[in-house]
Amino acid sequence: MNTEINLLEKQPNKYIAPVVFGILFILLMVGIFAFLLIQKNNYESQIENQESKIAQINTLLMEHQEDTSSERNLKQLEQAITSLQAEKLPIVELYKRVIGLLTSPQQLIDYDFTEENELIMNASFDNLNDVADFVTRLLEQPFIDDTELTSIRNVESAYQATLTISLNNKILVEELGENE
């Protein structure tokens, strides 16, 4: 039988404590890293949820603003239409009435409305008395405030007169009726 005799003294294991502490430190670091990773993922998902809620709220806000602006535009259009209807004149009836004051419709050469509620018309007359009679008949109309003989020219055997007629819109609408 062989007996082994070890004359060397057994060395105590001096590296066990640092190895145990190193392993515990590494496990602690892995645990902290895992905890931080879980927290990061949790916060990222919360941020994504909040961003999606913000996007939904922004979408609803934009739709509401579009609806509000559409309603506002509709009200503005209605007001504009109302004001335009109030300003419209019964032009056809006025034309018929002025033509009726002439001795024949062929006397009217042309006419134009200005923005200052004036009617500028050119008409042909046989003599100056016909011009004066036409101006008198115009001034008898309640919706005509003033008539000015702007110019008169002798063209061949007739007189061509340019008249500026100032209209009273309110009385014109009352007298000749509503717009066509």
What amino acid is encoded at 63 in this protein?
Answer: E
At residue 168, does pLDDT exceed 70? Answer: yes
Two tokens at 78? Answer: 């209605």
Higher per-residue pLDDT: 48 or 10: 48
Per-residue pLDDT, 53: 95
Structure confidence by residue, pLDDT tens digits, 36-93: 999 999 999 999 999 999 999 999 999 988 888 888 888 888 888 877 766 677 778 8
Residue 77 CB neighbours (<10 A): 10
- For the entire predicted model, the pTM comes to 0.53
Two tokens at 172? Answer: 């014109």
Structure confidence by residue, pLDDT tens digits, 92-146: 888 888 888 888 888 888 988 887 788 899 999 989 898 899 999 989 988 888 9
At residue 1, does pLDDT exceed 70? Answer: no
The domain limits of the chain are 17-87, 91-176
Domain 91-176 fold? Gyrase A; domain 2 (3.30.1360)
| Secondary structure (3-state) at 120 | strand
Rounded to an integer, what distance in angstroms lies between the CA atom of residue 27 and that of residue 4? 41
pLDDT band at 179 (very low <50, low <70, confident <90, very high): very low
Higher per-residue pLDDT: 47 or 1: 47
At residue 27, does pLDDT exceed 60? Answer: yes
Helix (H) or strand (E) holding 145: strand 144-155
Per-residue pLDDT, 161: 92
